[in-house]
């Protein structure tokens, strides 16, 4: 219950709860105490050097391959009329099973004040799937705009490093405000405004049916992220992330953190799309020796790949003891 409460709090823009030092387990206090004066720069460099020798970004590669294959499958099914995966990212049918993006379905129901049976079936299927896989896994493992934004991020970080541009951040509650705005626009206008401007749907349809003028909007978003604000759309605007993060609070697939092995060097937070979920890796910020990362985590695996001490790993709650 504490995990769900804390996750939802972070999803809607609140800062991670600071632990009450008096309530931290003695084992955790002993771990922090044993590290004082021992986590030297030389020791950290030695650990990172050893890690980089075998560091192949395996989860990133797996994620990119999965994301590309899913979106190419849409294209192949359409071009060759194999009726395997029909439709687009917002609504589709996979070998007869209806799939409907949860946020898109919500927009449609609010706009038309009507519930279609196929929509109910499609949302139920998707809900169960992402409930099992981890809600925001959709963002990093399936969403086509995520991949474009991730590539743009590399250029942004290079420009920042060269001091050509400066990264600008916004308050994380901005995303919650946009969530309400898009919902109200659909309800009051009878039109799915968000679906018109959603880069997820635009890019998905462009891959399948060919490019259109809407890609100009996607290009503008990417330029904004390259030259002004790192991953701005995903971090501060997109309501899809909130919808799937709420589903993810009940998911058994999580990233788990172990405080004992951690060197607190912060590499994981540097690569994370939603670094607030990894505040528990800051020395003194963990609530327990072993703790699950919140549901706003996209399960992208970047932190798992970059961690030099394997403090962060995937787990399946309930089965992790047998794996």
- Residue 56: pLDDT band with limits 50, 70, 90: low
The whole-number pLDDT of residue 36 equals 77
Residue 271 tokens read as 């690569």
pLDDT in tens, 215-251: 999 999 999 999 999 999 999 999 999 999 999 999 9
The whole-number pLDDT of residue 43 equals 64
Query: What average pLDDT does the segment 97-117 reach?
Result: 88
Q: pTM for the whole thing?
A: 0.91
The whole-number pLDDT of residue 40 equals 63
The whole-number pLDDT of residue 118 equals 78
Give the CA angle between residues 303, 307, 311 to the nearest 5°: 95
Give the CA angle between residues 281, 284, 285 to the nearest 5°: 55
pLDDT in tens, 156-209: 999 999 999 999 999 999 999 999 999 999 999 999 999 999 999 999 999 999
The whole-number pLDDT of residue 57 equals 83
Residue 146 tokens read as 């995520």
Show me where the domains of the chain are located: 2-59+254-322, 80-246
The whole-number pLDDT of residue 34 equals 84
The whole-number pLDDT of residue 317 equals 86
**Residue of 209 and 320 predicted with greater confidence:** 209
For the chain, how far is it from start to end, CA to CA, in angstroms?
24
The whole-number pLDDT of residue 161 equals 95
Residue 62 tokens read as 């797996």
229, 168 contact by CB (below 8 A) = yes
Residue 321 has pLDDT above 90, yes or no: no
Residue 115 has pLDDT above 90, yes or no: no
Cα separation, 212 vs 204, in Å, equals 11
């Amino acid at each position: 219950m504490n995990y769900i409460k804390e996750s939802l709090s972070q999803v809607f823009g609140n800062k991670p709860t600071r632990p009450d030092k008096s309530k931290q387990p003695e084992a955790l206090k002993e771990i922090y105490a044993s590290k004082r004066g021992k986590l030297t720069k030389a020791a950290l460099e030695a650990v990172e050097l050893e890690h980089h020798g075998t560091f192949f970004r395996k989860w990133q590669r797996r994620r990119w391959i999965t994301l590309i294959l899913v979106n190419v499958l849409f294209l192949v099914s359409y071009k060759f009329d194999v009726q395997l995966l029909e439709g687009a990212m917002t609504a589709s049918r996979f070998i007869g099973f209806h799939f409907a993006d949860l946020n898109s379905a919500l927009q449609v129901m609010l706009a038309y004040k009507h519930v279609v049976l196929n929509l109910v079936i499609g949302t139920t299927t998707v809900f169960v799937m992402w409930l099992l896989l981890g809600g925001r896994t959709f963002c990093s493992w399936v969403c086509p705009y995520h991949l474009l934004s991730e590539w743009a991020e590399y250029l942004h970080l290079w420009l920042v490093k060269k001091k050509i541009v400066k990264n600008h951040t916004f308050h994380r509650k901005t995303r919650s405000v946009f969530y309400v705005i898009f919902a109200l626009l659909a309800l009051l206008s009878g039109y799915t405004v968000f679906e018109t401007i959603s880069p997820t749907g635009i890019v998905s349809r462009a891959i399948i049916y060919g490019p259109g003028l809407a890609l100009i909007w996607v290009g503008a978003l990417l330029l904004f992220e390259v030259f002004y604000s790192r991953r701005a759309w995903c971090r501060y605007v997109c309501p899809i992330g909130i919808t799937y993060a709420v589903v993810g609070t009940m998911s058994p697939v999580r990233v788990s953190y172990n405080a004992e092995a951690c060197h607190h060097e912060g590499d994981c937070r540097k690569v994370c799309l939603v670094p607030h979920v990894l505040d528990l890796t800051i020395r003194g910020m963990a609530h327990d020796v072993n703790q699950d990362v919140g549901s706003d985590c996209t399960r992208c695996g970047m932190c798992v790949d970059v961690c030099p001490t394997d403090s962060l790993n995937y787990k399946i709650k309930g089965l992790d003891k047998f794996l």
